Amino acid sequence: MPVLPAATYFTAPAPNHAPVPYAAQSASEPPGSFTRVHRRGIIAAGSLLGLAALGGVAAAVTGSGSGRRNAGSGAGGGSGVAGTGSSASPSPSPTYPAPSFTTVPANGESGVDPSKPVTVTVANGTITSVQLSGGQETSGTLSGDKSTWTSNGVLHLSTSYQLQIQAADKGGKSVTKTISFATLKPSATIGVLEMWPGSSVTVGVGQPIRVQFTNYVPGAYRADVEKACVVSTNPPVAGAWHWVDSDTMDWRPQDFWQTGTHVTVALGLSGVRAGQHQYFIRDHSLDFTVRDTDLRLIVDTKQFKATAYQNGQVVRTFPIDTGTNDPRFITWSGTLAVLDKGNPVEMKGDYGNGDKYDELVTWATQITYSGTYVHAAPWDGQIGQVNSSHGCIHARTSDATWFYNLAHIGDVVQVTGTSKTVALTNGFGDWTTSWSSWLSGSAYGATIGGKPVSG
């Protein structure tokens, strides 16, 4: 280290003060203090020079206090550096209010309506997990801001449930809440009386789905019933339920089924409310397949002719005759589906004035519940010339046999040219109604796989 000239031996100058020579001695200092001052000055000056030699750091030791106090501080190497003698204490961690929960139903509630959704709402946090278990595992939908959860579907009747909720506060801390509740025991129940077609069967392109209940369903509850009855198809197709009676609803597509379609019907009705005090207590299901052949028989009563189409191609034309002009015997017009077949079928009637019969009729294919058949009539010598039957479609034995052997349940039979239109419930007259009229008879509207679509 270079040696400074004696005249430059100063303590570090304090702001707004003149340098103090090392030889200056106050009257209050005792003899011998000169040596101490001189040594402090040398140390301070040496420190400054050393810092200056390090480059750009000397400013850290200049700054505050009188010359001697600074020098002393510098010799100690303490508070003179950067002016920070102690480190700051750490900031406290932020605290957040705990999440609060609101549930419907409330904890411990009984007599809960199973047709109503379960809801969870969280304040001061977000929902991270919800599990509703009991009679069945039940899924739900979380809102976009994760503050509300709503269950999907309906619950079972007379069942205890547990709802477990997890939520996180704004700092990410998790909180869990568990509640229990029980659904009501109904005072009145309703069920499914019958379903068409049967399960695991193969049908024609004109076969609707029909569900008949054990009691009527008031209009206010029909949308919920339809929503619970999901029709899924492969390939997918839009269709709708239509109430053909107060206790019966049918489902059909807009047009005839595509050949080869597989259909699954899931009636998730358990717990669905169908009246003021009336609930379904069971689920039901069925599945069927539309056959690969599209067979349609078009009956022209005015031309006394029937034309059979297979996959859009004419495969047979044959003479027929139908009901007389007597209002009691006019054949029903409309687009129908084959209901059943029999060989033979007993047919009998007594219309007065000697018009009475009881016969076994062969090769009979049924198309209405009121008794309309396509059948062999070997006794009828006016086939193809005059409409003379009691309402059935008469054919020669060879033609009736051919159609009987080819026809399946659900194949289409369309009758034209008479003054009477078949009712929806007289067999399956569903296709006689336009699509817009069909939709007007639905409380829930058109669906694909149970999901609503525009009509």
Contact status, residue 449 vs residue 232, Cβ threshold 8 Å: yes
Residue 271 reports pLDDT greater than 90: yes
Q: Is 187-455 the same fold as 100-182?
A: no
Torsion sign over Cα 25, 29, 31, 34 = negative
179-204 pLDDT, tens digit per residue, is 999 999 999 999 999 999 999 999 99
Give the per-residue pLDDT at 88: 62
Residue 20 structure tokens: 């103090």
Residue 21 structure tokens: 């020579």
Residue 117 reports pLDDT greater than 80: yes
Give the per-residue pLDDT at 354: 76
User: Could you give the 3-state DSSP secondary structure of residue 106?
Assistant: coil
Give the per-residue pLDDT at 150: 97
Confidence band of 36 (pLDDT split at 50, 70, 90): very low
Residue 285 CA, chain-centre distance (Å), reads 19
Residue 337 reports pLDDT greater than 80: yes
- Determine whether domain 100-182 maps to CATH 2.60.40.3780: yes
Active site residues: 375, 392
Torsion sign over Cα 435, 253, 228, 197 = positive
The residue among 156, 393, 139 whose CA lies nearest residue 279 is: 156
Please list the residues that pair with 213 across neighbouring strands. 192
381-390 pLDDT, tens digit per residue, is 999 999 999 9
The residue among 337, 329, 309 whose CA lies nearest residue 394 is: 329
The proportion of the chain whose per-residue pLDDT surpasses 90, expressed as a percent, equals 74
What's the average model confidence in pLDDT over 65-74? 40
Q: Residues 6 or more apart from 10 whose CB is under 8 A from it?
A: 19, 20, 21, 22, 41, 45, 67
Entry pTM: 0.75
Question: Superfamily assignment of 187-455 in CATH?
Answer: L,D-transpeptidase catalytic domain-like (2.40.440.10)
Contact status, residue 167 vs residue 126, Cβ threshold 8 Å: yes
Domain segments of the chain as ranges: 6-76, 100-182, 187-455
What's the average model confidence in pLDDT over 91-95? 81
Strand 201-203 versus strand 239-245 pairing type: unpaired
Query: Torsions phi, psi of 144, nearest 5?
Result: -60, -35
Cα–Cα distance between 309 and 294 in angstroms, integer? 8
Confidence band of 37 (pLDDT split at 50, 70, 90): very low
Residue 47 reports pLDDT greater than 70: no
Contact status, residue 395 vs residue 306, Cβ threshold 8 Å: yes
Residue 314 reports pLDDT greater than 50: yes
Residue 435: enclosing H or E segment and its boundaries?
helix 435-440
161-179 pLDDT, tens digit per residue, is 999 999 999 999 999 999 9
